[in-house]
Amino acid sequence: MAPQPMSSDRILLIEDDVRVRHELRTALAAEGFAVSEASDLGQARAAKPEEHSVVLLDLGLPDGDGLAFCRQLREAGVATPIIIVTARDAARERVQGLDAGADDYVVKPFEIEEVLARIRSVLRRARQQVPQTIHRVGELWADAQAREAGRNEERLDLAPREFDLLLFLLQHPGKAWTRDQLLEHVWGIRGGIGDSRTIDLHIRKLRKKIEDNPAAARFIATVWGVGYRLNDEEAAA
């Protein structure tokens, strides 16, 4: 038998179902990945997710909810790609998972090849990212590496997806985006399967934190019949 290719990538597998964990561990090892295992959140924290290449995360765990754990990692600045692997298959739950900061979402029962393909995909995206920089438009700025944002010298207290949304808009000032486009580019939801109302909700929350008067927004403009636009520096001045 030919030896399996070795990989320097480490996968943290957080799964309480012994059968599923064994199936994933065997497949990952066969692909040459180094695998760390955790059956609950306590073990997951001890395994140091930030030191891994990808986290595979179940949601229903004995000592807590994986969704909250995902959100906590992002709020702590952990940028490791997270793929949720769960039996929760409602569109609303997919949106919640991606909104919490997950990079992808796989529903059980799954084909093992699909999970492997999604791991390869998030690893490619992570490696193709341009060097992290501070993006600034007028008074607003966001540091993609530190996951910090602010208005002039004032730091903004943003939830993970609020930060992602602001960062994306700062990267494309003056361009109008539809709600479906924002769901695709910021949430990673394609094909219109998400609820576009989540965009309106996050825009409202973001405006409350960056605008002097959210009812007369100066930075994030509503483009009627289209969606939203971050005004360029001149328009926001």
Element at 75 (helix H, strand E): helix 66-75
109: preceding bond cis by omega (within 30 degrees): yes
- What are 216-226's pLDDT values in tens digits? 999 999 999 99
Q: Decide: 162 and 187 in contact? Cβ < 8 Å.
A: no
- The reported pLDDT for the residue numbered 146 is 84
Every domain range in the chain assigned CATH 3.40.50.2300: 10-128
Strand order in the sheet with 176-178: 176-178, 227-230, 220-223
Q: Going by CATH, does the domain composed of 10-128 fall within 3.40.50.2300? A: yes
185 versus 5: the higher-pLDDT residue is: 185
* Residue 33 pLDDT class (50, 70, 90 cuts): very high
Residue 35: partners with Cβ closer than 8 Å, 6 or more residues away: 10, 11, 13, 25, 28, 29
**CATH 1.10.10.10 spans which residues of the chain?**
134-236
Which structure tokens are listed for 127? 């490696």
Top CATH class, 134-236: mainly alpha
End-to-end CA distance of the chain: 67
Q: Is the pLDDT of residue 167 over 80?
A: yes
Average pLDDT, the chain: 89
What pLDDT is recorded for position 5?
42
Type of residue found at 236 = A
What confidence tens digit (pLDDT) does each residue in 35-73 have? 999 999 999 999 999 989 999 999 999 999 999 999 999
Percent of the chain with pLDDT over 70: 91
Q: Report phi then psi at 159, rounded to 5.
A: -70, 160
Determine the pLDDT at residue 85. 95
Q: pLDDT confidence of 207, banded at 50, 70, 90?
A: very high
Q: What is the pTM of this model?
A: 0.58
The per-type count for the chain, helices as H runs and strands as E runs, is 9, 14
Structure tokens at 31: 């692909």
CB 220 within 8 A of CB 207: yes
